[in-house]
Chain A
């Protein structure tokens, strides 16, 4: 790892499912810790982008580096929150069990979580405001609470880079604020937080930098410079109802301190 290596670098990345490419030639380098938004319409390839970065789908062209190294060498420094729909919430595990899974990367195959890991998990649950629900079965949580359990599990990974896939989907406004505050606090600890996100208004409000994606990289940079009407029109081409939201997004940004 060199001092100048970006925290996360995607170099000319192309990803295909079968023979159909869904992401074309994405070039993206994030050099500073920040709250980074990945924004685009449904099916734009946002989840695919995160999965490609994590090696969960094969990259057919280009490469991904974390801290200048391939993922395999720095896996312990990368945390992940999958989209909530990927798991069966009727699964017989408790909130605590799930958060403890965040420590498995460090523990390895055979060691079981002990007192230290439980202490860490409790601390992470505390950060997302769920410490009272540690023993509850995960199916008996609201959507927003489930998202926060996933967030707590990622925190328990004690990573330097976090990749989160729609951690705010199906979450009410109050929980959204709460989750964003946790993410901002993580950023303030000098970590990179990459968030796939849908809502342009909150995006303008919270993210330091964003990338607009629609099967390719449309634009990336500081939020204010990227979320322009022109860029948004290019990303959401043909989706008229979004232009209204865009107007609101721009107005909102003017009001934030």
Chain B
């Protein structure tokens, strides 16, 4: 795996804190990705569709493999374009199963995840077994591996993330309206189906963009965990959005930094562990909703009826 990667980041001595220019750019790019994933995830959670990203994410592997086989190239834009096509295809199949075949929501999601992920793994295994030139290293998309990213890759990821955040910021009022009360939104003439589709598309884009940092298996966590943690701290959607972004950013940066400690370390698990730590702290100590607060309130409340 290491043989095929670009420049070894840890070894390169850099100007700031021993980090190279490339590492810093990658770090900044991944920070943007984390922020945007938290932002898009907040809306998905508020619309009560936290798992749409999961089906899309597991399908990306198939897209990465197919893009490599079809084009023979393994630069990030090509592979991610393949991943995006696969993610969208998975979501279309999901809608088909739910609407036309009338499968239950969770069953449909499980089917799409299982089938697309299995096919993706098989495809990558086939590519590796045949020893196709450049095929090695594709499995980095399984668990995420930022060490292989170039500064240019990072800029691409950052640009897509900024676009996502901008779209959410512009449409925030409408997205919250639909998430809170879709029948009312429809009654005042909003195209609820279209807005939902746009939201799912944004999540699909963020899942693809988060792929290098977190990998197909874990990238959903980057979309789901920061908003859940943020919800603990606030009762306002706007603040939740900002907090989820910051939590996602912190988790992504922490995970990437930790992964530079040893060469060959997958980034995804570290990013998710960092996010989980933030979430755990939020569950424990957040005012009003945290369990420490609730316990102390219970005890204090015993005196008065």
Interface residue ranges, A against B (CB under 8 Å)? 51, 54-56, 72, 75, 78, 80, 82, 86-88, 91-94, 97-98, 101, 104-105, 109-110, 112, 137, 139, 153, 157
What is the CB-to-nearest-CB distance from A98 to chain B, in angstroms, rounded to a whole number? 7
Cα distance, A125 to B170, chains bound together (Å): 28
Additional 16 contacts, C-beta under 8 A, given A91-B179, A93-B180? A54-B187, A56-B183, A78-B187, A80-B183, A80-B188, A82-B183, A82-B184, A86-B181, A91-B46, A92-B237, A92-B240, A93-B236, A93-B237, A101-B181, A104-B188, A112-B173
Closest residue of chain B to A81, judged by CB?
A: B184
Please report which residues of chain B, range 31-83, place their CB below 8 angstroms from some CB of chain A when the two chains form the complex.
46, 48
B176 within 8 A of A: yes
Closest residue of chain A to B231, judged by CB?
A: A92
A97: which B residues are within 8 A, CB to CB?
A: 176, 236-237
Most B Cβ at <10 Å: residue of A88, A101, A157: A101
Please report which residues of chain B, range 145-194, place their CB below 8 angstroms from some CB of chain A when the two chains form the complex.
170-171, 173-174, 176-177, 179-181, 183-184, 186-189
B171: which A residues are within 8 A, CB to CB?
A: 109
Q: B236's contact among A75, A86, A94, A104, by CB below 8 Å, is which? A: A94
B128 within 8 A of A: no
Tell me the count of chain B residues lying within 8 A, CB to CB, of chain A: 23
Cα distance, A153 to B187, chains bound together (Å): 13
B235 touches A94 (CB 8 A): yes
B189 touches A75 (CB 8 A): yes
B103 within 8 A of A: no
B234 within 8 A of A: yes
Pairs A-B, 6 closest by C-beta atoms: A137-B235, A105-B188, A80-B187, A82-B183, A54-B187, A75-B189
Cα distance, A105 to B170, chains bound together (Å): 17
What is the CB-to-nearest-CB distance from B298 to chain A, in angstroms, rounded to a whole number? 17
Cα distance, A182 to B46, chains bound together (Å): 32
**Complex A-B: 24 CB contacts under 8 Å:** A51-B183, A55-B186, A56-B183, A78-B187, A80-B184, A82-B183, A87-B180, A87-B181, A91-B180, A91-B237, A92-B46, A92-B235, A92-B237, A92-B240, A93-B176, A93-B235, A93-B236, A101-B177, A101-B180, A101-B181, A104-B173, A105-B188, A109-B171, A157-B188
Cα distance, A109 to B235, chains bound together (Å): 24
B181 touches A82 (CB 8 A): yes
Cα distance, A157 to B177, chains bound together (Å): 14
What is the CB-to-nearest-CB distance from A141 to chain B, in angstroms, rounded to a whole number? 12
B235: which A residues are within 8 A, CB to CB?
A: 92-94, 137, 139
B181 touches A72 (CB 8 A): no
Please report which residues of chain B, range 182-217, place their CB below 8 angstroms from some CB of chain A when the two chains form the complex.
183-184, 186-189
What is the CB-to-nearest-CB distance from A104 to chain B, in angstroms, rounded to a whole number? 6
Cα distance, A153 to B240, chains bound together (Å): 23
Q: With contacts A75-B189, A93-B236, A93-B237 known, is A101 near B184, CB below 8 A?
A: yes
Most B Cβ at <10 Å: residue of A80, A92, A110: A92
Cα distance, A86 to B186, chains bound together (Å): 13
Closest residue of chain A to B180, judged by CB?
A: A91
Q: A92's contact among B48, B184, B188, B236, by CB below 8 Å, is which? A: B236
Q: With contacts A92-B231, A93-B237 known, is A98 near B187, CB below 8 A?
A: no
Most B Cβ at <10 Å: residue of A55, A56, A78: A56
B234 touches A92 (CB 8 A): yes
Cα distance, A56 to B170, chains bound together (Å): 26
Cα distance, A137 to B236, chains bound together (Å): 8
Cα distance, A97 to B184, chains bound together (Å): 14
Cα distance, A105 to B176, chains bound together (Å): 14
What is the CB-to-nearest-CB distance from A36 to chain B, in angstroms, rounded to a whole number? 18
Closest residue of chain A to B236, judged by CB?
A: A92
B176: which A residues are within 8 A, CB to CB?
A: 93, 97
Closest residue of chain B to A91, judged by CB?
A: B180
A82: which B residues are within 8 A, CB to CB?
A: 181, 183-184, 187
What is the CB-to-nearest-CB distance from A179 to chain B, in angstroms, rounded to a whole number? 18
Q: A86's contact among B46, B173, B183, B188, by CB below 8 Å, is which? A: B183
Cα distance, A87 to B236, chains bound together (Å): 16
